[in-house]
A and B are shown apart, each in its own frame.
Chain A
């Protein structure tokens, strides 16, 4: 059986990144009002994780990525 690995990887990336984005956004929304410096840092990191989700999604659907496709 020959799998199109590239398609599988891209699908996982596209679907997974949506999940990651949702998790990060929900966590950010729920924890928005927590005090303390560690919580401010967590919020920044969750926001960057959400951005990571967006970036990975765009890579998954082949919008971003100079080297689209396997070598």
Chain B
């Protein structure tokens, strides 16, 4: 009787069981690929903006007032700051500092909401004071509001996602070894941050 055994190479003592480890790997790959496709989505619209802007009409187009760089830089600080607090939230979770983790998560969420508020302020100023609208200001309004709107939508989704993660972690869904939702949330939040670095540069700085 021949017995063929294949060692599975995973220890079965303490630590997360192998099913979790392998499920987590799948989820992580899937989430990273999802982020890649989201990057492609933004890149497509960024290409459209740069292509249109480069079509020789002069920038900003005649009659459109300039963007408020100072305010945007301030709002960028809010968002980048939330990226820092998010990083610390994950660090604190990994080191079992639950209270500090909660504080950092709350700070991240508040900063995220503040960023959205800042975007709302910027939008209303542009639309009401400077009369720059999504459809009525040529490709300037089209590209600005579409791209920053997409980004703002992603931030809003992120705020909701992080709030759910916070509630789940208070409820005890995550343990010291099993916290993939938190990792995914951190990845997503950093992604949103990094997209803003690009958008801030191409709309306000060039």
A binds B: yes
B-contacting residues of A (Cβ < 8 Å)?
A: 5-6, 8-10, 12-13, 16-17, 19-20, 23-24, 27, 37-38, 41-42, 45-46, 48-49, 51-53, 55-56, 58-60, 64-71
Q: List 22 A-B contacts (CB under 8 A).
A: A9-B70, A10-B70, A20-B83, A27-B87, A41-B32, A42-B187, A49-B193, A52-B193, A52-B197, A55-B200, A55-B201, A59-B204, A59-B205, A66-B66, A66-B206, A69-B69, A69-B70, A70-B68, A70-B70, A71-B67, A71-B68, A71-B130
Q: How far is the CB of A21 from chain B (nearest CB, A)?
A: 9
Residues of A within 8 A of B129 (CB): 71
Residues in A neighbouring B183, C-beta threshold 8 A: 38
Chain A nearest Cβ from B67, distance in angstroms: 5
What per-residue 1/0 map shows which CB atoms of B188-206 lie under 8 Å from chain A? 0011011011001100111
Query: A24-B84, A38-B28 are contacts. A10–B73 as well, Cβ < 8 Å?
Result: yes
Question: Would you list which residues of chain B between 61 and 114 have a CB under 8 Å from chain A?
Answer: 65-74, 76-77, 80-81, 83-84, 87
Closest to A11 in B: B74
The interface size of chain B toward A, counting residues with CB under 8 Å, comes to 37
CB of B186 within 8 Å of the partner chain: yes
A-contacting residues of B (Cβ < 8 Å)? Answer: 28-29, 32, 60, 65-74, 76-77, 80-81, 83-84, 87, 129-130, 183, 186-187, 190-191, 193-194, 196-197, 200-201, 204-206
Docked Cα-Cα span, A23 to B193, in Å, equals: 14
- Chain B residues near A65: list those with CB within 8 A: 69, 73, 204-205
Q: Among A52, A55, A68, A70, find the residue whose CB has the most chain B CB atoms closer than 10 A.
A: A52
